[in-house]
Amino acid sequence: MSLQAHRPVPKLSVYLMLMLMPLPKVAFPTAFALTLVLAGSSRAGDSSYEVSKTDASLTAGTKGKASVTISAKKGWHLNAEAPLTLKLVPAAGVDVDKAKLGRGDLAASNETSARFDIAMTAAEPGKKTVEAEAGFVLCQEDSCRPVKEKVTFAVDVAPSTAAPAKRPGKKK
């Protein structure tokens, strides 16, 4: 008889075991609540990662830049083999150079963080926004989990300062 070292059960396995076990009707609400807790959260209150952003400030008709940074925390890291994406939905009047960014578009990355720089232009002055959804996979030594997080960044477009074009006419 051999003894094997105890290995923690990944959250997904616990979730599946709970879902497959026959449970009395009274225990179902408790089991369901437990599975929600064990499954983890990918919302802003999650302490295993942070998605931060810098807003864009540009002049109408010129290029500007914003950024979105994903940072793993508390023993978590970004899975280097899983897809890492940023999908962008700009407001009317804002044009982004690329609407879906992937690993090849990263401005900077390491084991615990990744930054996308988003190039954009806007023709008209005013306050605008760009909606973004980051997709990535967080891992610890014994488990991984996919995360999708939405973030909105502001685009402040100032009026163009270009001098008006000279009209051909009489010289004084």
In order of their start, the domains of the chain are 10-39 (no CATH), 49-158 (2.60.40.10)
Q: What is the pLDDT of residues 2-28, one digit of tens each?
A: 444 444 445 444 444 444 445 444 343
Q: Specify the pTM.
A: 0.68
Phi, psi of 37, deg, nearest 5? -65, -45
Query: What number of other Cβ atoms are within 10 A of residue 140's Cβ?
Result: 15
Whether pLDDT at 157 is above 90: yes
